[in-house]
Structure 1
């Protein structure tokens, strides 16, 4: 039975990758045709101005394809759409919808303001509450502390943790999506330890879902690597943030999410630090935030920033995996 599960996972992953590689060129052409292109910020880097007009909303592909593959295959494979998989998919699609609304406004109005921050945050918050209520109907409010191997029941404080996980992670992933291949590549690296955790916990359906999303991202990366032919937009980045937050919650690896996804954490912290410090002193700590732009301003090429961030991501993922299986 175990070998059969692995075979089905391999088939679903390959199918997802092949579908992505087949549909992406057509999606890029269609987005070009309807002029759904990126609009770079006026205050952004000069080197990024050439990206104006590059199709965005590419996240639609790596949301829809793995979601449909999993749901369709759930009817005839061992991987059923249970509560755990359902919550993860709802977070994936739900936050993707919020991102789509934001992208649509940006594309139609041809500016980068998009959905007003207060409305975006409100929608993110509502989804976080919904997922907390759904999850706690069939699970505990315990968290596991790695290294010390201690389990603590947070009771209603668990809601604060989950709320912060979803709202912070979606915004952190969103801010990381600023260079060709950066966000998708980091997400692939970060999701691998969680797939292993799922297998160890016997949650093969969750592991399967994580893996097909990874393969969808690999298909997307072929077209998003430098120079990118398409961007994921907020549609993709918010969806990925919701996805990894839901995965961490379901697998009870909330603490390790911080370590494994620390590249995302560093990106959002750089923005918070920059804005807070500037308001108080009218000076900047970083040459530009988020953090990846700081390194570009220091003279690093886009490819160098992405490769160095990926190296850090791999180190953190390995460290998180080791702590998670100790």
Structure 2
């Protein structure tokens, strides 16, 4: 890959680390601390009081690097809108949790409304500005399926689903940030191979910001990203999939996010229909924890499978370009 990718990756990582060194003490001073849910694994109770809202470092670092390097490509600007918009929505949720000292922030309805508005505006914007066709690309083939105006609800579903899936994955130290590094890196390679470098630069900046954040977020975490980070990263991944027309490929490239979300859906559906639980606890990472795996082992295993899925998906997708 050309040197600019490595430069932007390093810039974003360094700026995030610098912001973290100054920002974590400030979050402690402002008492922006995590409240651990009572029904969660008992081993997580020691994490109560850990600073949260660390996603601010990643978002701020990304903005600094983007504007310092004067990235004004329309696709990048719309992705910034979607990413920062979800970050603000997540920040409101985190702020209420910290202020009320509880694990409940915005209501589900309020959060969903915010996500729908952001997704709708983004979809309208990229269709109008970038001229995206009203069709879905079938992964690993050169086939498209035209869906007409159903394209709008489809894109909205992808964005809302992905942002919530990444949010659900953010439950263990370093899990979501590590998986996001893998997903962003895979998309950066995809953009490089397809010659869409302006978009690739922005994606590698996001990967660098996640890498810098992981410096503080790896077990035992000194700070959590909170919904500020997880919703923003999920929104960014979804937006990238839409702009690159790889919405269905994302199912394979972001396999861990999909499995985490599916585990929650299956658990809720099973309990409501039969009164029985399929997993010891959902999302999926908690099931493995309660099965005797250490937190670090779960994280490394999930990173491995996300990396494997991303690599295989990327290879197959590039072969069929």
TM-score (norm 1): 0.94
Asked if 1:220 corresponds to 2:213, the answer is yes
User: What whole-Å deviation, never above 9, does each CA across 1:33-79 have from its counterpart, x for those lacking one?
Assistant: 111100000111110000000000000010111122112211xxxxx
How many residues align? The count is: 317
Asked if 1:253 corresponds to 2:249, the answer is no
Deviates more, 1:178-187 or 1:188-197: 188-197
Deviates more, 1:188-197 or 1:116-125: 188-197
Deviates more, 1:251-260 or 1:290-299: 251-260
- Map of 1:159 onto structure 2: 152
SS at match of 2:145: strand
Note the aligned Cα RMSD (angstroms).
1.2
Q: For residue 21 of structure 1, report the CA deviation from its aligned partner.
A: 1.8
- Map of 2:265 onto structure 1: 272
Q: What does 1:108-123 correspond to in 2, within 5 Å?
A: 108-123=99-114
Asked if 1:54 corresponds to 2:45, the answer is no
Q: Which runs of 5+ in 2 are unaligned?
A: none
- Map of 1:77 onto structure 2: none
Task: Identify which of 190, 205, 208 aligns with 2:201.
Answer: 208
Q: Which runs of 5+ in 1 are unaligned?
A: 75-79
- Map of 2:65 onto structure 1: 69
SS at match of 1:227: coil
| Distance in 1 separating the partners of 2:63 and 2:242 | 19
Task: Identify which of 266, 282, 304 aligns with 1:289.
Answer: 282
Asked if 1:30 corresponds to 2:26, the answer is yes
| Distance in 1 separating the partners of 2:125 and 2:85 | 14
User: What whole-Å deviation, never above 9, does each CA across 1:216-235 have from its counterpart, x for those lacking one?
Assistant: 11111011000000000000
TM-score (norm 2): 0.96
| Distance in 1 separating the partners of 2:63 and 2:13 | 13
Deviates more, 1:138-147 or 1:267-276: 138-147
Q: For residue 13 of structure 1, report the CA deviation from its aligned partner.
A: 2.5
| Distance in 2 separating the partners of 1:11 and 1:312 | 28
Kept in 1, the 8 Å contact 2:90–2:229? The answer is yes
Deviates more, 1:136-145 or 1:99-108: 136-145
| Distance in 1 separating the partners of 2:7 and 2:279 | 46
- Map of 2:115 onto structure 1: 124
| Distance in 2 separating the partners of 1:71 and 1:139 | 25
Task: Identify which of 301, 307, 311 aligns with 1:308.
Answer: 301
User: What whole-Å deviation, never above 9, does each CA across 1:289-322 have from its counterpart, x for those lacking one?
Assistant: 0000000000000001001101110110011101
| Distance in 2 separating the partners of 1:196 and 1:157 | 30
- Map of 2:87 onto structure 1: 96
| Distance in 2 separating the partners of 1:180 and 1:295 | 14
User: What whole-Å deviation, never above 9, does each CA across 1:127-181 have from its counterpart, x for those lacking one?
Assistant: 1110110011122122221223212222112112201111100110000000000
